Chain A
Amino acid sequence: MKRMSFGQATVDATRLAMREDERVIVLGEDISWGGNFGQFRGLLEEFGPDRIIDMPISEALIMSASVGAAMTGLRPVASMSFLEFTMGAMDEIVNQAAKMRYMSGGQVSVPLVLRASDGILRSSAAQHSGSLESLFTHIAGLKVVAPSNPADAKGLLRSAMDDDDPVIYLENKSITAKRGPVPEDDHRVPLGSASVVLEGTDVTLITYSAMALRGADAAATLADDHDVSAELIDLRSLWPLDFETVASSVSKTGRVVIAHEAWLNGGLGAELSARIGEELFADLKAPVVRIGAARAPIPFSPPLESAVVPGTDAIVDAVLRVLPS
């Protein structure tokens, strides 16, 4: 184990994959300079401009060229810096990348990874902050991952790059600089496997991405101040969903809080909550409670930004609400 940042862990994963497989190329904006968060630092030096390709600020092209390359023998990783920029490539993501395999009757796969920074960090304001994962989890044909720590960042990126279908890899900008232990070997985290970060008996707290960190803080507060034992789940993969891990925890605790940074309405929490209600109703001792951002574009002014994004306190409060009084 070596301590490194989330961003460095993704460089590590990319380097290993590129050494192993000549078909891997990286296309994105400013990547030869290392990327906005250091996610590509050092790759140009090792692999050269034929494989580390600085792209014009043409998001639709970055995505469609990746689709074309993926269908003709390469394994591209596309980078869009900020997740909001992928909105300029939604046609290519939804209508081309996600559907091509199906439309062709299985003639072709589209093995590509789209990396983009989501989340909320220091007044980046509405067009550079946000959580749009449910736009992608909604689409048949896509897979979506959202790691919360450097080890998973490496392991999930390795698995995403191994995968034969398009994977949206969301790297939360508020945690990209955070450091943690990362296995040095060929570490992989399978897609579709959630992590039980903390075992508990009173309530299931379902999180992912940056919210997993706030969930851990909330669980500590709940244990210390309220004598509550929370089981903390970090989904890691948003599609495919590891519902088995969720279900076994819910069956044990009977109480559920789902916390994400994305807008509450139509968010992944709504999907999870519905599925828990449909499949595990008999196990529930209280209604499922969701925590998410208020329905507003993420504001610029720091106190406003804090006002719309749920913090640790909101999670603690929600857990106390689902517990018997």
Chain B
Amino acid sequence: MRPPTGPATLAGFSPEVALPIHATMVRIRVFETRVTELFAAGRLPGFVHTYLGQEAIAAATCRHLRDDDYITSTHRGHGHAIAKGMPTNRLMAELFGRETGANRGRGGSMHVADFSLGMLGANGIVGGGFGIAAGAGLSARRRGSGQVAVCFFGDGGINKGTFHEALNFASVQSLPVVFVCENNQYAQFTAISRTSAVGDLAIRATGYAMPGTTVDGNDAGAVYAAVGAAVGAARDGDGPALLNCVTYRHSGHYVGDAEVYRDATEVEQWQAADPIGRLEEALVGAGWVDEPDVGAVWEAARTETAAAEEFAASSSDPDPATALDYVYTHADGVDP
């Protein structure tokens, strides 16, 4: 796929919507950049997958969601968590494995969750969110809550059986679920063109009788417009949709990935198609912001991330005596 060029689309945007989306994208970018550095410095346990380069999708999508709407996320979930409203200090503390983390240090990068924000968890299993999102949609309908569930997944996930099972079920039951594919074109190390029989992944919606749309995932305005239509329809009871948001990881599959499978020129071209740069070009071009405004957003994000790091670094580790807490809901004599 050729990298897109030019400024982001502003049609359907207003400053009231576009500026918070931009700020969220910058917050994710700065946070993930610092996470990369911290991991390289050996300060984070486990391993991390960053959201660098894909920020437009989470930020623009979540702008359409109510606080009580649901999202399911992936192993690359920090951006989704931030976009859904998770405080970055609690996210960073989770990456440090601290008791003050969103999951009290029990989950880490691949499992960050905040159920109070409808963030049903990053998920270390590719395709793990499809059925969970369908179940959340079923639950929302049963309770008559008007909530919508958005399932974020990657192009790797689209080849899981659960993709087909969940899209079929969501469609046959007309559930309020929007399936948002973050097609960064590589499933771990393997190009999607080598593993999917159809090139345009939106075509797969046809088999499940739902709308399927391919979107420039590095264009925040285009994502915002497409998701708005899909979320609106889902909320109105018109059933699910599939969005294929084409994007690109700025870095490897995980931090430390040697990236032997991607062509350097390709990486360079896609980094030039940066969703934040394209949005800023549009915003400044339209006169909605000026350069100092943009700089202030970046400065605020750096301050926030530094504070999050300070919070995480100074927080306590979980007490080893509590390692068996939370296996079951009620202790009542149950050995884990």
Check if A69 sits within 8 Å of B138, measured CB to CB.
yes
A60-B161, A65-B134 given; A240·B333 CB < 8 A: yes
Minimal Cβ-Cβ distance residue in A for B147: A72
A4-12, A99-107, A262-270 - interface stretch: A99-107
Q: With an 8 A cutoff between CB atoms, is A277 at the interface?
A: no
Q: With an 8 A cutoff between CB atoms, is B143 at the interface?
A: yes
**CA distance in complex: A124, B125 (Å):** 33
Which residues between 18 and 69 of chain A lie within 8 Å of chain B, taking CB atoms? 25, 50-51, 53, 55-56, 58, 60-61, 63-69
Check if B336 sits within 8 Å of A140, measured CB to CB.
yes
Check if A65 sits within 8 Å of B172, measured CB to CB.
no
B50-58, B262-270, B321-329 - interface stretch: B321-329
Point out the residues of chain B lying under 8 angstroms from A92, CB to CB.
131
Q: With an 8 A cutoff between CB atoms, is A176 at the interface?
A: no
**CA distance in complex: A143, B140 (Å):** 27
Check if A104 sits within 8 Å of B131, measured CB to CB.
no
A104-B121, A106-B326 given; A64·B166 CB < 8 A: yes
Number of interface residues of B (CB under 8 A): 51
**CA distance in complex: A165, B328 (Å):** 6
A13 to nearest B CB, angstroms? 20
Check if A69 sits within 8 Å of B139, measured CB to CB.
yes
Q: With an 8 A cutoff between CB atoms, is B65 at the interface?
A: no
Check if A67 sits within 8 Å of B135, measured CB to CB.
yes
Number of interface residues of A (CB under 8 A): 45
Interface centre among A53, A73, A105, A165 (most CB of B within 10 A): A105
Q: With an 8 A cutoff between CB atoms, is A192 at the interface?
A: yes
Minimal Cβ-Cβ distance residue in A for B131: A64
Which residues between 108 and 141 of chain B lie within 8 Å of chain A, taking CB atoms? 111, 113-116, 120-121, 123-125, 128, 130-140
Q: With an 8 A cutoff between CB atoms, is B165 at the interface?
A: yes
Check if B114 sits within 8 Å of A64, measured CB to CB.
no
B273 to nearest A CB, angstroms? 34
Q: With an 8 A cutoff between CB atoms, is A194 at the interface?
A: no
B27-35, B97-105, B246-254 - interface stretch: B97-105
Minimal Cβ-Cβ distance residue in B for A25: B142
Point out the residues of chain A lying under 8 angstroms from B138, CB to CB.
25, 53, 65, 68-69, 74
Q: With an 8 A cutoff between CB atoms, is B311 at the interface?
A: no
- Determine which of B125, B165, B172, B335 lies in contact with A240 in the assembled complex, contact meaning CB atoms within 8 Å: B335
Q: With an 8 A cutoff between CB atoms, is A164 at the interface?
A: yes
Point out the residues of chain B lying under 8 angstroms from A104, CB to CB.
103, 106-107, 111, 113, 115, 121, 326
**CA distance in complex: A65, B184 (Å):** 26
Minimal Cβ-Cβ distance residue in B for A243: B335
Point out the residues of chain B lying under 8 angstroms from A163, CB to CB.
329
Minimal Cβ-Cβ distance residue in A for B102: A105
Residues of A whose CB lies within 8 Å of any CB of B are 25, 50-51, 53, 55-56, 58, 60-61, 63-74, 76, 91-92, 95-96, 100-109, 111, 140-141, 143, 163-165, 192, 240
Could you list 24 A-B pairs, sorted by A, with CB under 8 Å? A64-B128, A64-B132, A64-B162, A69-B136, A71-B120, A71-B135, A91-B125, A92-B131, A95-B124, A95-B128, A96-B128, A96-B132, A100-B121, A104-B103, A104-B326, A105-B102, A105-B107, A106-B104, A107-B103, A108-B115, A140-B327, A143-B334, A164-B329, A240-B333
